[in-house]
Amino acid sequence: MTGAARIALAPLTSDFLEQAITGAGARLSELSDARALVWDGGPNGFPDLPESIEWVQLYSAGVEEFFDAGIFERHPNVVFTSAAGAFAKSVAEATMALLLAGVRYLPEHIRAHSWRQTEFFPHIGTLRGATVAVVGAGGIGREVIAMLEPFGARVIAVNRSGRPVDAPNVVETIPAERISEVWARTDHVVVAAPATDGTRHLIGKDELTQLKPHSWVINVARGSLIDTEALVAALREGAVGGAGLDVTDPEPLPDGHPLWDLPNVIITPHDSNPPQLRTAAFAEHVAANVTRFVQGRELIARIDPEAGY
């Protein structure tokens, strides 16, 4: 990937993204004359790519909808990259807010209309000395791990390869194939793994049963990773302490769904990466990858069609 990099930007344009492309040494081009495409939309309307296209940068970190639409199958010779890691800091910050709110029993505090101090005491916990399983130790997961360190929490990191995660508070890294070893050993769970056929209902009845009555389950990945019916049952029965969900299955979560009425659930409407933060973060990601494209270096967040993300 050498020489002048002609890059198309579609279906929308923005000053942030235009400056990211040109500032990294490339020039904007029509798709028909481009070597790469920055696509800041979803799979609907994705164009048929000319043979000149070598690389496509997608706007989202999760790309399951592009798999479902057959985009990668249509263009087997094109390198696709996702935005994985681009939004990690924002999502990790929201993750910590959900986890801390649960551990410190804030949902009940917020709902209270009278002084019930002693009643709340037994339920208030701490992250100091607690073990947190971070399932999916990629960009978001690693940011969460770093944020957990000053709180004194130990981490069991779970990733696809089992390659050790180098962080002072990681006590063990476990490959995804051995994830069954995690549930009984952890106090809380953060789900930050990609959504694939293999991760659907990664946490179900059996996994929830092995967790502790004080365990909080935080999901900032995709709703499909948790069996919603099993989660509702575990929350009602007190098998787990609570759940902090930025994503749900189904999504949007319909009015009247049991999750809305459970006192030990915090639901945020998939806004851990709000639009006002997303564009600037994506522009930084685009600039980094355009620089690599111009220089002929390996691109960040390359999608593996075999792995599904």
CA distance 73 to 80: 11
* Contact criterion met (CB below 8 Å) for 58 and 82: yes
Single out the catalytic residue among 35, 188, 222, 285: 222
Q: Is 108 a catalytic residue?
A: no
Q: For residue 188, which of 237, 266, 135, 248 has the smallest C-alpha distance?
A: 135
Of the candidates 149, 251, 257, 278, the residue annotated as catalytic is: 251
Contact by Cβ (8 Å): 55, 293: yes
CA distance 232 to 59: 32
Based on the residue annotation, tell me whether 109 is a catalytic residue of this protein.
no
CA distances from 10 to 80, 95, 206, 213 (A): 15, 31, 45, 49
Cα dist. 219→15, 32, 202, 227, 288 in Å? 33, 41, 11, 12, 28
Q: Active site residue: 214, 270, 278, 292, which one?
A: 270
Half-sphere exposure of residue 146, counting CA atoms within 13 Å on the CB side? Answer: 12
113 catalytic? Reply is no
Q: How far is CA 72 from CA 67, 141, 148, 305, in A?
A: 6, 26, 36, 7
d(CA 241, CA 259): 14
Q: Which residues are catalytic?
A: 222, 251, 270
